Structure 1
Amino acid sequence: MRPYESETVRAVTGTTIRPGGLALTRRAAEVCGLGPGDRVMDVGCGTGATASCLHSEYGTAVIGMDLSPVLLDEAILQHSGMNLIRANAMDLPFQSGGFDAVFAECVCSLLPDSVSALDGFHRVLKPGGHLVVADLYWRACDRTAMQPKASLGGCLAGAVDRRTLVRRIENAGFDIDVWEDHSEALKQLAAQLVWAGISLTDWWGVDCFSGACNNDRRPGYCLMIAHKKENPNG
């Protein structure tokens, strides 16, 4: 079982299972100008909190997808009327250009190949459609510093620094509209997990107390909103 599937962890994080919760989801929805009739894909929908929020509060038509049977079964139980499917973010089962927005909250850092996944997100979006990424990243003051290698299943397994993340999204055919650091929300969640007796080493997938993390290289959390270029050559 991965850390985010644990009932103990979810008792601390709530239904969103990530820093910032639905406040960042709503922030992104407002920036994207989402409204009734917009088609949204929620990649890694977990227990369905984001999908439910975007549908009930903004009137969007949401498809939520996740690979975890543990989380997806709970999502279907809690949100019986939602369109929730088991699917792989690395192989999206949707036609090209069919969505107005793709939400990937705490997803890219968990994927085996986020570069290929970003290409897939780009493919399914309409020109001008929005990509929302809320995720962990390495806050490295020394850009040449090696980033700690997290274990498979750890939430930092695929995390990269800001510059690398921005470059990957731009190379996939997006223009970035918003970059916001929300590392304070990550600190708050980490403190809550520790207070509940949950090992951050298991959560991160790396031991941040052994010197792997320091003032120049530590986990952070960001919200990034981008749009698919209208002109793929521009």
Structure 2
Amino acid sequence: MSDSLKEAVKGKYAAAARMVQSGKVGSCCTSGGCFGGCNYTPEETIGLPRELLNASFGCGNPTALADLKEGEVVLDLGSGAGLDVLLSAPRVGPKGKAYGLDMTDEMLALAEEYRRQSGLTNVEFLKGDIENIPLPDNHVDVIISNCVINLAADKARVLKEAFRVLKPGGRLAVSDMVWRREVPAWLRQNVELWTDCIAGALTEAEYRQLLEEAGFIDVELEITWIFGPSDLPEGFLTADMERQVASHADSLASAFIRARKPERT
């Protein structure tokens, strides 16, 4: 990730974490649903602090997608305040492990506090970049991520790193933003829109290609929500940005992306 873009992303989500710490709603989940609909059920989130839900910036529910099993090791790329990590930990159980990786100190501080409140002992939050995952080769069974890979400048590197740390036969199950068709270059290069999970989205074809180039097989991409002009959360963009994006809103979608590392590589 270029230094300027990386700092812009860190600044955006550090500010969001501070909003949550001050008691304000700092997420895309402003009216009962995340950016594109996260589909967390009340049963899943029972017992979790409301503040944790307010600190979620997702566009789906990768924990429902991942089919986690007892004893597995799961890694959440760009774990933020830790919602998907804390949902994953009970599913893999005490013999499993749930890692969260994030680069923003303020989000990591929130995640550690929510981990403490949860009482879960099979959770660990790591500081680092998703382009350089601080775990050894062939270490995790499942990688999840929720509306984060689009924020990285070097997505090919992210997916190669994900492939590296997965065990043979390991699974990738992420929610992310995608473009359904090509859009103007100015839109895909705007830093403000990039930090808002819009400009940095890959097209469907690009996502498939990068996953396959990284070594993944059985690639599946399922569109879960197509955005209309009224679907962007209120206050998510400036008025000027909303006007510029509105004419291309139906080109933007949230998607579930699945892939698998071969048993032998």
Alignment match, 1:207: 241
Contact 1:36 1:61 in 2 (8 A): no
- TM-score by length of structure 2 reads 0.72
In structure 2, how many angstroms separate the alpha carbons of the residues matched to 1:213 and 1:190? 13
1:228 partnered with 2:261? yes
Aligned CA RMSD, in angstroms, stands at 2.7
Question: CA offset at residue 45 of structure 1?
Answer: 0.7
Deviations, residues 167-218 of structure 1 (Å, cap 9, x unaligned): 111110001353211115x669945x21xxx14349xxx9352267437x62
Aligned to 1:28: 65
* Residues 1:17 and 1:94: Cα distance change in structure 2 (over 3 Å): same
Secondary structure (helix, strand or coil) at the match of 1:57 reads helix
Contact kept in structure 2, 1:5 and 1:71, CA below 8 Å: no
The 8 Å contact of residues 190 and 200 in structure 1, kept in 2 or not, is answered as no
**TM-score normalised by structure 1 residue count:** 0.80
Matched letter for residue 130 of structure 1: R
Cα separation, partners in 2 of 1:199 and 1:35, compared to 1, 3 Å: closer
Pairing partner for 2:107 from 71, 79, 86: 71
Question: What does 1:54-133 align with in structure 2 at a 5 Å threshold?
Answer: 54-59=88-93, 60-80=96-116, 81=121, 82-133=123-174
Instruction: Call closer, same or farther: CA 1:222–1:4 in 2, change over 3 Å.
Output: farther
Overall identity of the aligned pairs, in %: 22
Separation (CA, whole Å) in 1 of partners of 2:173 and 2:100: 14
Q: Which runs of 5+ in 1 are unaligned?
A: none
Distance in structure 1 (CA, Å) of the matches to 2:149 and 2:216: 15
Identify the residue that residue 39 of structure 2 maps to in structure 1: none
What runs of 5+ residues in structure 2 fail to find an aligned partner? 1-10, 20-24, 35-52
Give the aligned length.
214
1:154 match: 196
Structure number with the bigger relative contact order (C-alpha 8 A, sep ≥ 6) is: 1
CA distance in 2 between counterparts of 1:68 and 1:84 reads 11
